[in-house]
Structure 1
Amino acid sequence: MISYKPFYETLFKQGKTEYELIFHHGLSSNTLHRMKKGKPITTATLDTLCFILDCNVSDVITYVPDDSEER
């Protein structure tokens, strides 16, 4: 499962808000809603977030294995 916990930590460390991402950088509020709910986002959105926050992908998402899933 993909977790967006690093995104919120990065946002906090940089002193940025979701409001700023939406109204100053044009990020969709729907995108932030999807992230809050743990839903997928596109790699283009991931690229945009990394550009806006001047960070690495690992500062936005992380993979958390789901022990209940067998592959």
Structure 2
Amino acid sequence: MIVYGPFWKTLKDSNESTYTLINVHHISSSIIDKLRKNRPLNTTTINDLCRILNCHIEDIAQYVPSEQDQKL
């Protein structure tokens, strides 16, 4: 399962906020909601967040094995 806990720490350590992500960088509030609920995001969105926050992908997302993962 992909979780976005690292995103919230990265955001806190940056000069950005959810307000600036939405109103300055035009990240939709639904994306912020997906981050809060660990819902799937597309790689373009992750790329945008990395560019805005000047960070690496591991500063946004982390894989954690879970029983909720779909069967392969």
Q: TM-score, normalised by structure 1?
A: 0.90
CA distance in 1, matches of 2:15, 2:47: 20
Instruction: Report the CA distance between 1:55 and its aligned residue.
Output: 0.4
Aligned to 1:37: 37
Aligned to 1:56: 56
Percent identity between the two aligned chains? 37
Gaps of at least 5 residues in structure 2 are none
Instruction: Please give the root-mean-square deviation of Cα atoms over the aligned residues, in Å.
Output: 1.4
Instruction: Report the CA distance between 1:7 and its aligned residue.
Output: 0.2
| Displacement over 2 Å in runs of 4+ | 68-71
Matched residues, number = 70
CA distance in 2, matches of 1:36, 1:2: 12
Q: TM-score, normalised by structure 2?
A: 0.89
Instruction: Report the CA distance between 1:14 and its aligned residue.
Output: 1.1
Work out whether 1:20 is the aligned partner of 2:20: yes
